[in-house]
A and B are shown apart, each in its own frame.
Chain A
Amino acid sequence: MIKNISNLGDAALYCDFGNEVNKEINRNVINYFNNLRDSNFLGITNITPSYNKLVISFDLKLTSYAKLKKQVENLELKKNNNSKNNLIKIPVCCAGEFALDIKRLQKLLKINEAKIYETFFSKNYYCYMTGFIAGMPFLGDMDKSLFAKRLETPRVKVPKNSIGMTEQFCNIYTFQSPGGWNIIGKTPVDIFDNKKNTEPNLINPGDTISFYPISKLEYEKKYE
């Protein structure tokens, strides 16, 4: 299932699962990730799943590339070890002041606003990975009719909790951050809670997300 394992520097393994981005390959990555989390191999410091790669970093004082590579190659996978993965419902308010790029998208996609939202809310999205900034989920796949390019000039500040989309993916900005994705709304739910000391992130790689629309009034209520 892993096509190739190579070294990323002297203290990490770079596991290659292929070049395409699809759920099948990513489920393999997540399955390895979940199994490795349970394995307790000595010296592992971090495991980072992404679309089609898995990076495992380790403490060079405790283990080595050759040792850990052998352990990963011989890892007995528990099939469908996805009990950790959940379906999470996320409310989104699409009021004009939150949907920063909806006008741009109507022009770009040649679809009206109502249809864009109808299409967006009709699908479930799969979490390929989280990261870049703390807790940010990379979700897919968008309906083909909604594939849109990034902004030509990225925003310096995308507001926290904005819902963005580009090409086949959508995401949630867990912090105010620079970014170039098309913003279509905002959620009142904190996806990353920096006050929570265990599992501060609501969405994990492998989870499924369904978005549902809420009014401005409901948004403000949830914020209270």
Chain B
Amino acid sequence: MKKNMNKNYFEVLRPGINSTFQDNGRNNFYHIGIPFSGAMDNRNFLLANTISNNGINNPVLEFAYQGPKLKYIGENISINITGDVNFKIIRKNKNLEFSCYENIVLENNDCLDILSTNRSVYGYLSIGGTLEVDYYLNSCSTNTKAKIGANNGEKLEIGQIIKLKNIKKILPRNKIEYLNSKIENIRIIKGPHFDYFSNDAIDSFFSNEFNVTKLSDRMGIRLKGPKISNIKNTNIKSEGLVKGVIQITADGDPIIMLSDHGTIGGYPKIGVVISADYDKLVQIPPGSKIKFKEINLKDAETIFKLYEMETQNLISNIK
């Protein structure tokens, strides 16, 4: 028998608002209605696993707004949290403060309280080891709509146990200085139904700010602002979507498709958010404003290369 088998675990004292297990997501199942899923903010997901010296597709715990409160039982373990997150560790009735983007040691009976994400949405908890989760179609990513992935396709629940395995020796601090920059404009590329909207509607779309409403989750962001009126048809024959697509509903409101989006949709697509801005887009909390800026495909590709280089630089600074 392996040493300390199943001896290390978290007990969920508070599940948080939307805490799910995520990895890189699952490819090649859109045609049967299963979206990509995966960690919403891919850069912060990669950083969490890198600081933990894990493989880049190791499962992490993703949380939104208020995170979980977890009691840890087991041998000493390194953990780290990425994102813009406010958290503390309660050790023998003392509150200990730490920062994100560095390894911290959790001891037996410690309580990790992830209080909130600051002016952002998602944060990530990674451990020096592996969260013991179920896989479905090559990914552990939980999709609560299709009820698939880790945790039987459900959010974290109060009282449940999260088993840990392959616990590593205590890791170096691996601290990085990283600031989650706020975004001013969301850059988009014209969508295939750009001409469904009048020049006035297009002007209005790019010159006004839109409010991010509370009806936003892992599936999509619903926006409110000036109505974008349609001059052709408010419906199209349903067709494939990708993350970042901005559809204009029959009511004239934009909705942006995020990682758990329905795989097909029947509203005209005015634009698509560029890949380089996706991680920042998902972090915009309800109550904030978004302004769109149009760029061309070539620029979007160049900006993505720069964004990717920046991510790789951050990763190589850890290693």
Contact = CB atoms under 8 A, between A and B. Distances in A.
Given A52-B237, A53-B239, A11 B29 contact: no
A10 B272 CA distance: 8
B297 A131 contact: no
A9 B32 contact: no
Contact of B274 (A9, A49, A201): A9
Given A9-B244, A12-B242, A46 B28 contact: yes
Interface in A9-29: 9-12, 14, 16, 19, 21
- Highest count of chain B CB atoms <10 Å: which of A9, A33, A194: A9
B27 interface: yes
Contact of B269 (A8, A51, A200): A8
A132 B35 CA distance: 9
Interface of A: 6-12, 14, 16, 19, 21, 33, 44-55, 57, 60-61, 64-65, 129-136, 138, 174-175, 192, 194, 197, 200-201, 204-205
Q: Which 7 A-B residue pairings sit nearest by Cβ, starting from the closest?
A: A9-B272, A55-B240, A48-B240, A131-B33, A134-B146, A46-B30, A131-B263
> A12, A131, A138: which has the most chain B beta carbons within 10 Å?
A131
Given A60-B275, A132-B263, A134-B148, A46 B33 contact: no
10 contacts: A46-B242, A48-B264, A50-B239, A50-B264, A53-B237, A54-B240, A61-B308, A129-B238, A131-B262, A175-B146
Contact of B301 (A10, A19, A44, A57): A10
Contact of B32 (A12, A57, A138, A200): A200
A202 B241 CA distance: 22
Nearest to B147: A194
A9 B241 contact: no
B226 interface: no
A11 B237 contact: no
A175 B241 contact: no
Contacts of B275: 9-11, 60
Interface in B256-305: 262-265, 269, 272-275, 297, 300-301, 304
B53 to A, nearest CB: 22
A175 B32 CA distance: 13
B31 interface: yes
A159 B234 CA distance: 28
Nearest to A11: B275
B189 interface: yes
Contacts of A53: 237, 239-240
A33 B297 contact: no
B225 interface: no
A10 B300 contact: yes
B145 interface: yes
Given A53-B239, A204-B32, A194 B146 contact: yes
Nearest to A14: B192
B124 interface: no
A129 B304 contact: no
A9 B242 contact: yes
Given A9-B274, A10-B189, A10-B274, A131 B137 contact: no
A174 B263 CA distance: 14
Given A8-B242, A50-B264, 18 more contacts: A11-B275, A12-B272, A19-B237, A48-B240, A48-B264, A53-B239, A55-B242, A60-B301, A129-B31, A129-B238, A130-B33, A134-B148, A135-B33, A136-B33, A174-B33, A194-B136, A194-B153, A204-B32
